[in-house]
Structure 1
Amino acid sequence: MTVEIGVILPTSTPDPARPILGDVRDSARYAEDVGLDSVWSTDHLIASAPMLDSTVVLATAAAVTERMTIGYNVMLLALRPVAWAAKQISTLQLVSGNRLVLGVGTGNPAHGDAGWRAAGVEFTERGRLTDDALAVLPDLIVGKTSLDIQLSPGSKVPPIFVAGGGARAQKRAAKYADGWATIALSPDEVRTNLEQINELADGKQLKATVIAPQLDGDPVEQLAAYEAAGVERIILPPTGDWRHDYDQAADLRTRHHG
């Protein structure tokens, strides 16, 4: 296994004072042209900075690329009726040629609860609602009868990873997902968490996705350490200049692949 390297499309930013909104078509094409493995879109109804709709963003990226993975980092399932979420996911899987990866999370409290209230969802219920959605989502995506409905056409269920560092997130990943995601943990911390998750996973062996990994010192050596810890992909954070970010990521990928 060689660690895959992805980047976030210019659809928002963690810093409200510096929203990163760029040309999704241009940035997705550029990421593929420089050899990156994946592009990702963040997700929220109302966030602390301007943010585009994740499904529309990923559909746009899929339309102008041929090879790369496109992914939710991460979809907030609890903000949506699960049948609608399944319809969006299934359609995006079909139009992208099965290139979708579905990251799922419960939402960062730093963004507040305005979006949840606007969607008619209790912020405190988002964990339970996420679990309920994940329990029926695969059947809905493939077109099996669930919730007394059958969506058509169905599609292949994309790889799913669950994000989060708490005990509930670990149990959620172990029960429903193919992988687990975290932000900025060291290789040793990733290994420890994966061991705990895989003990709960009923024989599955989950791999990790690390957003904003710690790449101090020699980044190639750090990538090797992450790979040894069970990391299958990293997603590098935006700095404000997406073209520069993508060039740096592509250079790191070239050095890592040797």
Structure 2
Amino acid sequence: MNQRLALALRPTLYGPEEILAFAKLTDESDHVSTIFFPDIWASLDSIELSAAVLTVTKRVKAGSGVLRPLEHDLNTLARRLGTVQYLSNNRFVLGVGTGKPVTNPSETITRMLKMIDEIRNAIPTEFKGRTVSPPEVFVAALRLGIAKRAIHNANGLILNFCSPEYASNLVKNLRLAIGSGV
């Protein structure tokens, strides 16, 4: 079985030089598809780290894991993502989440998914004769309800901060829900 892995590198644990050296090694491996960088306020920016990785690699994808889009200006974020997509030949992956628990999680998820659609629409489809695609979007979803809502608006899910057993059970229940028409 040919499994491909995604890795998360915390910029609070690794310096930029280490991250770039690791990315180059990862690019040579067929087993790793994506490197994610948590978007931590007290650390380096996940989009800029991803852009740096994407300039020193040819195959591997890189992205935020996870960025809270509701904390960013829509137009500025779309412009930044469009630039990284253009420079990387569409290899950036946008990992998103809602952040800390809120009083009305359903409303927050709805707002986040709406903003993801707005970001996709705000990124130009062509620049200087080259096609620019909106990034793949992966949503951090640790609860089945969030996963059911997000899966229709995303390319995949990020199941971080949970055990393999929990992740496996969530995926199994999500498949059952999708099979029943959710």
Normalised to the residue count of structure 1, the TM-score between the two structures is 0.56
Alpha-carbon distance between aligned partners in 2 of 1:176 and 1:155, rounded to the nearest angstrom: 19
Alpha-carbon distance between aligned partners in 2 of 1:155 and 1:79, rounded to the nearest angstrom: 24
- Contact 1:83–1:140 (CA<8 Å) still a contact in 2? yes
What's 2:171 paired with? Answer: 194
Alpha-carbon distance between aligned partners in 1 of 2:2 and 2:100, rounded to the nearest angstrom: 30
- Contact 1:28–1:39 (CA<8 Å) still a contact in 2? no
**2:98 aligned to which of 106, 115, 132:** 106
Q: Does 1:136 align with 2:118?
A: yes
- Contact 1:25–1:64 (CA<8 Å) still a contact in 2? no
- Provide the secondary structure at the position in 1 that maps to 2:123: helix
Cα deviation, residue 77, structure 1: 0.8
- Provide the secondary structure at the position in 1 that maps to 2:142: coil
What's 1:155 paired with? Answer: 132
**2:21 aligned to which of 26, 29, 32:** 29
- Contact 1:29–1:65 (CA<8 Å) still a contact in 2? no
Alpha-carbon distance between aligned partners in 2 of 1:52 and 1:133, rounded to the nearest angstrom: 23
Does the C-alpha gap of structure 1 residues 134 and 172 become closer, same or farther in structure 2, counting only changes over 3 Å?
farther
Cα deviation, residue 43, structure 1: 0.9
Cα deviation, residue 200, structure 1: 5.4
Does the C-alpha gap of structure 1 residues 123 and 79 become closer, same or farther in structure 2, counting only changes over 3 Å?
farther
Alpha-carbon distance between aligned partners in 1 of 2:152 and 2:177, rounded to the nearest angstrom: 8
What's 1:43 paired with? Answer: 39
| Consecutive unaligned residues in structure 2, runs of 5 or more | none
**1:88 aligned to which of 76, 80, 103:** 80
Give CA-to-partner distance per residue, 1:152-177, whole Å, 9 cap, x none. 73721222111121244213322201
Normalised to the residue count of structure 2, the TM-score between the two structures is 0.75
Alpha-carbon distance between aligned partners in 1 of 2:81 and 2:179, rounded to the nearest angstrom: 26
Alpha-carbon distance between aligned partners in 1 of 2:98 and 2:145, rounded to the nearest angstrom: 11
**2:142 aligned to which of 165, 171, 179:** 165
Q: How many matched pairs?
A: 172
Q: Between Structure 1 and Structure 2, whose CA radius of gyration is higher?
A: 1
Identical counterparts, % of pairs: 23
Cα deviation, residue 56, structure 1: 1.3
Cα deviation, residue 108, structure 1: 4.0
Does the C-alpha gap of structure 1 residues 108 and 161 become closer, same or farther in structure 2, counting only changes over 3 Å?
same
For 2:4, the aligned partner's letter is: E
